[in-house]
Structure 1
Amino acid sequence: MSSKKNSHKTAQGSALPEYNIALLGELGVGKSALTVKYITRRFIMEYDPDIEDTYTKQDVIDTQESLVHVMDTSDKVDSEADRYLRWADAFLIIYSITNSRSFAKAKEYLENVTSYLKCNNKDTPVALVGNKVDLERYRKVGKEEGNSVAAEYDCSFYETTAAEDYEYVEEVFHGVIQELQREKDRTLPLQPLYISEDKTNSLLLTPGSTGHFSLLRSRSPKPPLSPEKKEDKVTQRKTTPSFRLFNKSFKIFN
Structure 2
Amino acid sequence: MAEYRLVVVGGGGVGKSALTIQFILNHFVQEYDPTIEDSYRKQVVIDDETCLLDVLDTAGQEEYSAMRDQYMRTGQGFALVYSITSRESFEELRAFRNQILRVKDRDQVPMVLVGNKVDLEGSRAVSQEEARELAISFGCAWMETSAKSRVRVEDSFFALVRAVRQDEEASAKPSQRRRKGKAKCAIM
Identify the TM-score tier after normalising by the shorter chain.
Answer: 0.7 to 0.9
> Which runs of structure 2 are paired with 1:81-92 in the superposition (5 Å)?
81-92=68-79
Number of the residue aligned with 2:52: 67
Shift of 1:76: 4.2
Shift of 1:47: 4.3
Give the conservation status (yes or no) of the 8 Å contact 2:17–2:35. no
SS at match of 1:86: helix
| Aligned partner of 1:129 among 109, 114, 118 | 114
Number of the residue aligned with 1:153: 138
| Aligned partner of 2:10 among 1, 25, 29 | 25
Give the conservation status (yes or no) of the 8 Å contact 1:162–1:169. yes
Number of the residue aligned with 2:84: 97
| Aligned partner of 1:48 among 33, 54, 60 | 33
Q: Structure 2: which 5+ residue stretches go unaligned?
A: 181-188
Number of the residue aligned with 2:160: 176
Number of the residue aligned with 2:183: none
Equivalent-residue separation in structure 2 for 1:18 and 1:122 (angstroms) = 23
| AA at the equivalent of 2:156 | V
Q: State the percentage of identical aligned residues.
A: 36
Give the conservation status (yes or no) of the 8 Å contact 1:114–1:153. no
Give the conservation status (yes or no) of the 8 Å contact 1:53–1:73. yes
Moved more, 91-100 or 101-110: 101-110
Which digits, 9 at most, give the CA deviation of each residue in 1:196-242, with x for residues without a partner?
A: xxxxxxxxxx9xxxxxxxxxxxxxxxxxxxxxxxxxxxxxxxxxxxx
| AA at the equivalent of 1:173 | F
Shift of 1:116: 3.5
Equivalent-residue separation in structure 2 for 1:68 and 1:46 (angstroms) = 25
| AA at the equivalent of 2:82 | Y
| AA at the equivalent of 1:72 | D
Root mean square deviation, CA, Å: 2.0
Give the conservation status (yes or no) of the 8 Å contact 2:111–2:163. no
How many residues end up aligned between the 2 structures?
Answer: 173
Q: Structure 1: which 5+ residue stretches go unaligned?
A: 1-15, 191-205, 207-254
Which digits, 9 at most, give the CA deviation of each residue in 1:146-176, with x for residues without a partner?
A: 111122222221111111136x111110001
Could you say if the C-alpha distance between residues 123 and 105 of structure 1 is closer, same or farther in structure 2, counting changes exceeding 3 Å?
closer
Is the aligned partner of 1:77 residue 2:70? Answer: no
| AA at the equivalent of 2:139 | D
Shift of 1:128: 1.4
| AA at the equivalent of 2:12 | L
Give the conservation status (yes or no) of the 8 Å contact 1:20–1:88. yes
SS at match of 1:60: strand
Equivalent-residue separation in structure 1 for 2:148 and 2:88 (angstroms) = 21
Which digits, 9 at most, give the CA deviation of each residue in 1:30-70, with x for residues without a partner?
A: 00000001101221212421341111101111111111011
Number of the residue aligned with 2:186: none
> Which has the larger Rg?
1
Give the conservation status (yes or no) of the 8 Å contact 2:22–2:147. yes
Equivalent-residue separation in structure 1 for 2:143 and 2:134 (angstroms) = 12
Structure with greater helix percent: 2
| AA at the equivalent of 1:77 | E
